[in-house]
Amino acid sequence: MPRDLILGTAGHIDHGKTSLVKALTGIDCDRLPEEKARGITIDIGFATLNLGDYRLGIVDVPGHERFIKNMLAGATGIDLAVLVIAADDSVMPQTREHLEILKLLGLRYGLIALTKCDLVDETTREVVELEIHELVRGSFLESAPIVRTSAQTGEGIPELKAAILEVCRHVQTRTSKEWFRMAIDRSFIVQGHGTVVTGSVTAGTLRIGDETEWLPRRELVRVRTLQNHDRAVEEVHRGMRAAINLAGVPHEEVVRGQELATPGYLLPSRVLTLRLHCLDDVRRPIKHRAAVRFHLGTSEIMGTISLLDCDTVEPGQWGMAQIFLERPSMATWGQPFVVRDPSAAHTLGGGQVLQPTAKKIRRRHLEFLERIERLWTGSTEERVLTVAWFGGFAGFTLADIVRGTDVGPHEGQELLDSLRERGNLVEIATGHARRLLLHCDMVKELEERILQALGRLHEQFPLMSTHDRQKLQSHLDYVGDDSLVHATVDRLLQHRRLVGDLRRIGRADFKPQLSANQRKLKDKLVAAFQEARFQPPEPASFAGQAGGNAASIKDLLELCVAEGYLVPIAGDLFLHADAEAEMRKLIGARLAASSALPVAEIRDLLGTTRKYAVPLCEYLDRIGLTRREGDLRVLASKQQ
């Protein structure tokens, strides 16, 4: 099977791009009536060229400065470019601008076609070629061949095809399996079939019958049929032009700039973190809070630049920035973008996306800037760890790694498994079969915050060795995930840095600090409840014996519960732990011998009064020993 690649044209208006494509392919890319009438290309057009081992989808772009946004949409996903320069006109403004755009888009392969050679003499051709060499010095086209052509006479067309074929042989291919992605550049209706969208497939494979995600709407849509340059195909893959017939999609709701992708792969975002370059020849630097037109994929969105490490990016310089967009966009790590001025008169610069989905970063925040720098300069493993770190307490998924580091899903999963085994990543079970993957620093930070929160509670209540879990939770609401906090508490209990149970917890290194008088009062409380058995005293009754420690009675009772001396029954009602165990034993034995007991018999069995018998019976119901049936109590273990 021939390898599929996408070739794009570039160059100034009226330099013969469309005529050259027609001479190469026999296809006229000007499809709009206005283009035919005016004799200029307004929007992107398409053709196909078979070169034996390579099958090229050609994207012909307009050269007029007013249609640069269309040129940018067409340049998305191209693998190689032909820079077209007319021999009778030489290098012109949009020649330079298109070349700068191709450089900003990260293109690495291409060649130069010198057109209209039949209109000039040999000396002029040589002078123009010198000007071209000067133009492309230092760019990806510096060593590219310049092929002399004429669409009118056919001069150089076979040589141009041969040169294109030679460039194709050098275009590298990605070997890892990828998820599907295609930016939409146009749509139309086919009678009897419905909406068809077209674009250049930049990653992965899509087959008939597949479900794909329509973004930024985040709706799942089904693929009815597929075409590649008017021929029906079963699948489309990276390097192909694709026409995709979608089921149930209203044509009027499809716009250029939307995307189709494997479900879950891309996330719409209004905030992106960028590596931003200002072009050498712009008149003014890019300033903090500058309004720009942001070109990404086939989309053009107004946005505001926020510079993170400087106040201006001077011509020829780089900076780190965030962009805040009026509408959400979809991106992946390393994806090139271009920024133009609000009036769309000049290209200001461009760069690469570092964070496809980002939160606002405070300017000159050193730790954040260092980590963002690692997204560009670090290894793949460092990028994965950085994406994990920025995931914070919310954690991250394989899709976040694929989107945020430009690795394939298989390679991404292998990296995650390796980093988890080495302890760089931690998996926490948060209930309901949900497992959260976090950077180890996030787990350590949350553990420290839990310990600090408990430390403050211990400082506030120095007599209490444990505190209610829900009370701790209220101090950590900002984490935004109660189940994660509870799971991390369990992790600390397992590592013996905390003590407690499902209801109450405390720091393992904390011991209540009791004065001599408080210790005596605590001993009196325990003795009084032990002696009273099933008619326990009320806490207020100890106020006279407490003296100056009356305010500590409640805390001392909680301490007695935490240390296992007392058991809370209801409100201010407590039983000594021995009495509670005896009560369960007595009631359990009697109910095993009898079918049911009224409250009065339970009262008499315990030698108490109704005042205590009713809450004691309700407590036994709560702990699952008994079950109420009308006015009687039966063993909960007995079948209903």
Of 44, 15, 51, 14, the closest CA to residue 29 belongs to 44
pLDDT band at 63 (very low <50, low <70, confident <90, very high): low
Question: Among 339, 322, 220, 337, which Cα is nearest to 269's?
Answer: 322
- Confidence at residue 86, expressed as pLDDT on a 0 to 100 scale: 95
Please report, rounded to a whole number, the percentage of residues in the chain having pLDDT higher than 90: 73
| Token digits of residue 42 | 């307004």
Task: Give the confidence band of 527 by pLDDT, cuts at 50, 70, 90.
Answer: very high
The pLDDT of 258-274, averaged and rounded, is 97
pLDDT score of 604: 94
Q: What is the pLDDT of residue 498?
A: 94
Distance from C-alpha of 151 to C-alpha of 145, rounded to nearest angstrom: 18
Q: Lowest-pLDDT range, 329-333, 459-463, 484-488, 573-577?
A: 459-463
The answer to whether 333 touches 406, Cβ cutoff 8 Å, is: yes
What does the alpha-carbon distance between residue 254 and residue 199 come to, in Å, rounded to a whole number? 13
Q: Which two tokens stand for residue 255?
A: 């716009």
Pairing, β 80-86 against β 3-10: parallel
pTM, 2 dp: 0.82
Rg for the chain (alpha carbons), in Å? 37
Element (H, E) at 473: helix 469-474
The pair of three-digit structure tokens given for residue 381, joined into one six-digit string: 């493993």
Other CB atoms within a 10 A radius of the CB of residue 207 amount to 13
Residue with tokens 């211990």: 458
First to last CA, the chain: 72
The 8-class DSSP code of residue 264 comes to T
Contact assessment for residue 458 and residue 508, using Cβ atoms and an 8 Å cutoff: no
Q: How far is CA 558 from the centre of its chain?
A: 45
User: Cβ-count burial of 41 within 10 angstroms (0-12 exposed, 13-18 middle, 19+ buried)?
Assistant: buried
Say how far apart CA 217 and CA 258 lie, in whole Å: 9
Mean pLDDT of 77-83: 93
Q: Is the pLDDT of residue 37 over 60?
A: no
Q: Which residues contact 369 (CB under 8 A, 6 or more apart)?
A: 308, 309, 320
Q: What is the pLDDT of residues 460-492, one digit of tens each?
A: 888 788 888 888 988 898 888 889 999 999 999
Question: What is the 3-state composition of the chain as percent helix, strand, coil, each rounded to the nearest 5?
Answer: 40, 30, 35
Q: In this predicted model, what pLDDT tens digit does every residue of 201-213 receive, in sequence order?
A: 999 999 999 999 9
Question: Tokens for 204?
Answer: 């992965």
Neighbouring-strand partners of residue 295: 300, 338
Phi, psi (5° rounding) for residue 594? -115, 155
Using CA atoms, how far apart are residues 52 and 415, in angstroms rounded to an integer?
Answer: 38
* Measured distance CA(77)–CA(75) in Å, rounded: 6
How far apart are alpha carbons 76 and 330 in whole angstroms?
A: 13
Average pLDDT in the chain: 91
Q: Is residue 228 a contact partner of residue 168, using CB atoms and an 8 Å limit?
A: no
DSSP lists the bridge partners of residue 228 as 231
Q: Is the pLDDT of residue 94 over 80?
A: yes
476, amino acid identity: L
**Residue 546 CA to its chain's centroid (Å):** 59
CA distances from 55 to 5, 103, 220, 241, 443 (A): 6, 24, 31, 11, 51
Q: Identity (one letter) of the amino acid at 542?
A: F
Cα–Cα nearest to 517, from 552, 563, 541: 552
Judge whether 9 and 52 are in contact, CB under 8 Å.
no
Give the residue-averaged pLDDT of 430-436: 78
- By the 10 Å C-beta count (0-12 exposed, 13-18 middle, 19+ buried), 150 is classed as buried
For residues 305-331, average pLDDT: 96
Residue 463 structure tokens: 């007599």
pLDDT greater at residue 394 or residue 640: 394
CA distance 558 to 300: 63
Helix (H, G, I), strand (E, B) or coil at 436: strand
Cβ 428 vs Cβ 436: under 8 Å: yes
Say whether pLDDT at 175 is over 80: no
Q: Which residues contact 85 (CB under 8 A, 6 or more apart)?
A: 11, 12, 15, 91, 95, 112, 113, 114, 115, 128, 132
Q: Given pLDDT bands bounded at 50, 70 and 90, which one contains residue 514?
A: confident
Report in angstroms the alpha-carbon separations of 68 from 6, 71, 94, 276, 304. Answer: 19, 5, 9, 20, 20
Tokens coding 227:
């075409």
Q: Residue range 187-195: average pLDDT?
A: 89
Report how far Cα 564 is from the mean position of its chain's Cα atoms. 47
